[in-house]
Chains A and B, each alone.
Chain A
């Protein structure tokens, strides 16, 4: 599982195709406006933008923690129901949506671990989507998954802390547990919403190093929202800039010119589209 997979042909396949994504609450302003883009397998994408630019909403639309108002999110059917072809996340049934969510790991700014449970149980909770209902509700997991949980803890360097309560860990350690929890899902995609915004710069590097490494090893597509330009330049294969709910930049980190940065970090609320 942890053997570093060389870039295969699969790595170039498209994984997510987003077309015309809109989000607004009632008649309110558009939080996302006409977002269209494609992501390939194994890409490490950094999403840049000020708070309120729509980064969080965009990420949450992809696993429908927030319901998009309009638009399609096409994903390969093999990840959901098996078989060839594509499916639209926005039109999935509850059952299909749960199956899609199993393949989408999520990392949060506030870590969102269950504080009163052990690190081990927190990691195991990542496999809930695959478990039989009754045993898992009683917090019983098959030996295979318990072994995987320990393996994933080892990958983030926290095997020693497996049986400690989650709230005894530091912030940086809690975020590593959250990564191990996401890995339990055998994800095709990891969505990381400001994963280092609550951590100091040194720890930010540690977390992003781990995220990048496991993503490369497992061929996972990572979409991570950040607001620190330096970190984006350092880690991204591709940078996407959001401003006022629109995509105002999409390119390699070395293409982030001063003008592009200016567009992303502009503080006005004009709706004028900026050509990319």
Chain B
């Protein structure tokens, strides 16, 4: 490439300018940060007792366990015998809401409450029920409280700070811990798990909802106040329509999370699919346990897909 010819009337050389500001030197600060981070890593890994030798020795055993789990025992889902239908009831009588004599009705109730939840399909449905009921209970609490806990819609700063403090405080309690307490208090079963999910989800939803409320366009609020509308009317017209898509999206997201959480809660006896998985593993029923895992994977993937499709619809 040839350089363009220098024009005959070249501009005079610029007068020397003051030296440009030099970038600040931060060597010692960077070194100190790196040192602290390195020390943190060493501290963390020494604490968890990393042991490569054991990992290598355990690998064949892991493969063996996995081998014993495969193939999953599909008959646990497909074999009618698993469902242990009471002989006096026909399949339609069992599944459909038809009028029955007293003893048949009792047998039917007993099957639905005790036999069916012990099967993989029954336990899975129970897990979904727990997640759904827990999320809805949380919504009923979080929806009104979020308006009290958002800076711009709270009726009074004191209310705002009180709501904020308590939701932050209770949110630190993991749903697993809440479930342990509730199982001890009200006994084994899905109700304790559902309440634990509802409790934790409510604290999370209040925070997410309140943040959405704080992000609205205040101009619309001003416009409606200017018409002489009252507080509840302003909420209904100016605030709720603006936050609706975010609320629905958060709600679906928490439902997804609660499906997973409900599955885990089963392991401490709070109902659902987790309980089956733990007891199968404990009794070394590996193909059955892996079937439970397969159903759980399908469930979680299905719910994730559904909720992401729904979320696309609301934006």
A interface vs B, CB < 8 Å?
A: 63, 65, 98-102, 104-106, 108, 110, 112-117, 121, 125-131, 133, 136-139, 178, 181-182, 184-185
B residues less than 8 Å from A133 (CB atoms): 230, 232-233
Determine if B219 and A112 form an interchain contact, defined as CB atoms under 8 angstroms apart: yes
Output the least CB separation between A82 and chain B (Å): 16
Determine if A98 and B230 form an interchain contact, defined as CB atoms under 8 angstroms apart: yes
Determine if A137 and B232 form an interchain contact, defined as CB atoms under 8 angstroms apart: yes
Contact A185-B225, Cβ < 8 Å, known A108-B219, A131-B233? no
Determine if B225 and A65 form an interchain contact, defined as CB atoms under 8 angstroms apart: yes
Output the least CB separation between B285 and chain A (Å): 53
Listed from nearest, the 4 A-B pairs whose CB atoms lie closest are: A129-B228, A102-B228, A128-B229, A112-B223
CB within 8 A of A125: which of B217, B229, B235? B229
Output the least CB separation between B212 and chain A (Å): 13
Determine if A106 and B223 form an interchain contact, defined as CB atoms under 8 angstroms apart: yes
The yes or no answer to B227 lying at the interface (CB within 8 A) is: yes
Output the least CB separation between A121 and chain B (Å): 8
24 A-B contacts, Cβ less than 8 Å apart?
A65-B225, A102-B228, A105-B226, A105-B227, A106-B226, A108-B219, A110-B219, A113-B220, A114-B237, A114-B241, A114-B242, A116-B242, A116-B245, A117-B237, A125-B227, A125-B229, A127-B227, A128-B227, A129-B229, A131-B233, A133-B233, A136-B236, A137-B235, A138-B236
Q: For chain B, what secondary structure do more than half of its interface residues adopt (helix, strand, loop), or is it mixed?
A: helix
A residues less than 8 Å from B241 (CB atoms): 114-117
Output the least CB separation between A243 and chain B (Å): 26
Output the least CB separation between A188 and chain B (Å): 12
Contact A114-B220, Cβ < 8 Å, known A128-B233, A128-B237, A133-B233? yes
Determine if A185 and B227 form an interchain contact, defined as CB atoms under 8 angstroms apart: yes
Determine if B229 and A65 form an interchain contact, defined as CB atoms under 8 angstroms apart: no
B residues less than 8 Å from A112 (CB atoms): 217, 219-220, 222-223
**Complex: how many Å from CA A180 to CA B237?**
16
Determine if B228 and A128 form an interchain contact, defined as CB atoms under 8 angstroms apart: yes
B residues less than 8 Å from A185 (CB atoms): 227-228
The yes or no answer to B132 lying at the interface (CB within 8 A) is: no
Determine if A101 and B223 form an interchain contact, defined as CB atoms under 8 angstroms apart: no
Q: B190-219 toward A: CB 8 Å interface, digit per residue (1/0)?
A: 000000000000000000000000000101
The winner among B226, B237, B238, B244 for most chain A CB atoms within 10 A is: B226
A residues less than 8 Å from B238 (CB atoms): 114
Determine if A139 and B236 form an interchain contact, defined as CB atoms under 8 angstroms apart: yes
**Complex: how many Å from CA A105 to CA B167?**
39
Residue of A with least CB distance to B234: A128
Output the least CB separation between A187 and chain B (Å): 9
A residues less than 8 Å from B233 (CB atoms): 128, 131, 133, 136-137
Contact A125-B222, Cβ < 8 Å, known A101-B228, A133-B230, A133-B232? no
Other than the given A65-B222, A129-B227, A129-B229, 15 more pairs (CB < 8 A) read A98-B229, A101-B228, A114-B220, A114-B237, A116-B244, A117-B241, A121-B237, A125-B224, A125-B237, A128-B229, A128-B233, A131-B233, A136-B236, A182-B227, A185-B227
